Structure 1
Amino acid sequence: MRNCILTVFNLPYLVKGSCVDYLPFFPLSRDQLAADDITLDAFGNFAYKIYERVLATGTGYFVEENTELNTIGTALYDNPVGQLAWIAAKIILWSDPRAGTNGSLINPEMTLNTVSLYYLTQAFANTDAPLLFSAFQYTNQYWLPEAVAMVGNLVSYTEHDFGGHSSGLDNPFGPLSDLIKIGDYFDIQ
């Protein structure tokens, strides 16, 4: 699954922490970065180039999700084939081009499993619990640590040089290694 969320559905007070690789807003533009005197390192520059390519060629998805969510949600809600088409296309387009190597789990079976998880579950809880963020080089958007910190209680930010938007499939060891660190921030019982 792309985002590893340690949560009890709809009970945010029970959330011990979360480990995510994606945020529900666009990253800062290059103009905003310059205005805030933020300089990107090599990882950030590479990731921004991927993001800018997506902005130039793939924003229809974002426009639809941000402006007509109920339309697409209703159309796909009880349509597993529609969800497969919608999600699988993004897994293919937004994954590390080295998918299927270096521990990547991207294959037809895992794509179906991922779509099934989206289809069969419906929950996300907001919380102020410790937040761990995993940045992947080939993701379609890149958030600086400062932007992630505005979302929640950021305690860890890790850059991974392998993986894309579907990091749990592309590079399952990346999010797993980050998720294991969450134990440093609370007692797991």
Structure 2
Amino acid sequence: MRKRFVAATLLTAGLGLSSAQAALPVGRSAPAFTLPASVAGHAFTFSLKDALRKGPVVVYFYPAAFTPGCTIEAHDFADAMDRFHALGATVIGVSMDDLATVTRFSISACRSRFAVAADTTGAIASRYDARKTSDQHAQRVSYVIAPDGRILSAHQDRAPDSHIETALATLEKWKAHSGH
């Protein structure tokens, strides 16, 4: 176990990946989760474990559907989905909104291009150190998780636009160094 952690840490250090301001460190195993989710208005159960079998996963937490910053971020992720798919990545947005709200958000703001999940209790946001302590919202934090479950990058920034480019840069570096 220790050897794998050291190897993952060295790999990510060698890739120049960062953990800018986010609480979960690069190289750590990402907490597994299963949540109700929606894509293109269709509800389903999202499992991180199942998604990682297909390739890397970008998990991004956002404060609340239909707010200006969160809508901008969702539009930007939707616009970049071809780039994420070319890198073999799955994208999942997570908020503390209910399933009905994320279902509507999946169509309008996400433009039916990627899934969003309902973490109504905030338990998953808490496990990812992405929950605001003062209210019932998540912080704007994004993680890129390798197929082996290790965190490749963690990015926290209130500005929504930096999350997409940070995730894409991480995935490009990972792909170049992993041979995928």
Determine which structure has more spread, i.e. the larger CA radius of gyration. Answer: 1
TM-score, normalised on structure 2? 0.27
Higher helix share: 1
Higher strand share: 2
TM-score, normalised on structure 1? 0.26
